[in-house]
A = this chain, B = another copy of it.
């Protein structure tokens, strides 16, 4: 049979297992021009939390009692489509189902001999593109500048820091445990790390680690961590706002220090973005990321959980920081 995961209730605060529902249906039959796909890997991402509420955002909200979707790698197990052969692997936004059919129109083939399949959900997928395009298109890093990354041990953050180093920046990462901070330095080549869980005063901690101030801030978390970073920005600082996982589960608009005066005083830029804004630049970006990966200049971490039934829990665990790097469920 064929399990699918539906959004049963819109989460209030932190998502719960009871917000999700499993249904079991027959495996669909591919029609003319269609292919049948068997899910291999499912990406769970913080941004999906935003799609679970019924509010205007950059993506359509998920509908209740409908399948949730995210980045998926799947294998073609039957094909009535001349562009796909049995045994091909594809990536795309797909339902959280064990099997599904497709007309192939919004899928991309991936090559398992060039990189592990899961990499196409991470460093060579939305994760790597978000890191590369956010940093280069908005941040435009200059050699010698200081780059701070929050959520630095996360999927996007760890890539941002490495690209910052490749481009000649001094890179400081903020993460949530001693082990993560050590890994930032030993595995990803960050210059310094800050464990926010043992830091009382983020403003002073940043001041200490960034004696020349902060030129670039790639923000994955928002909230009080950002307040401490923003208090140290330099003139013409660029703040790339990629996400704010620290407040995704808030049920009311969180309050914090107003930023207008800081922005005016420093002629600073704060730009929110989603990677889709830069779609025309994806091929070039993937080319650059693949090259760096091949040259050994980029590395990545994955937390791979096994089992289709583990998808909701893996998603919930994101908000506890249980992942290191990209969180992926292997089916």
Contacts and interface: CB of A to CB of B under 8 A. Distances in A.
Interface of A: 50, 56-58, 219, 222-223, 226, 235, 241-244, 247, 253-274, 277
A258 B267 contact: no
Contact of A267 (B254, B255, B268, B273): B273
B270 A270 contact: yes
A264 B274 contact: yes
A258 B256 contact: yes
Number of chain copies forming the complex: 2
B257 A254 contact: yes
A243 B261 CA distance: 7
A263 B271 contact: yes
A238 to B, nearest CB: 10
B267 A272 contact: yes
Given A50-B265, A56-B265, A266-B58, A260 B241 contact: yes
20 contacts: A58-B264, A58-B265, A222-B258, A222-B261, A244-B260, A244-B261, A247-B258, A247-B261, A253-B257, A254-B257, A255-B256, A259-B259, A259-B270, A260-B272, A263-B271, A265-B272, A266-B272, A267-B277, A268-B271, A269-B271
Contacts of A254: 257-258
Contacts of A242: 264
Contacts of A267: 58, 271-274, 277
Given A244-B264, A256-B258, A269-B270, 11 more contacts: A57-B265, A58-B265, A58-B266, A241-B264, A259-B270, A260-B272, A263-B270, A263-B271, A267-B271, A269-B269, A269-B271
A314 to B, nearest CB: 23
Contact of A256 (B50, B57, B235, B256): B256
A306 to B, nearest CB: 31
A214 to B, nearest CB: 13
A150 to B, nearest CB: 11
B58 A235 contact: yes
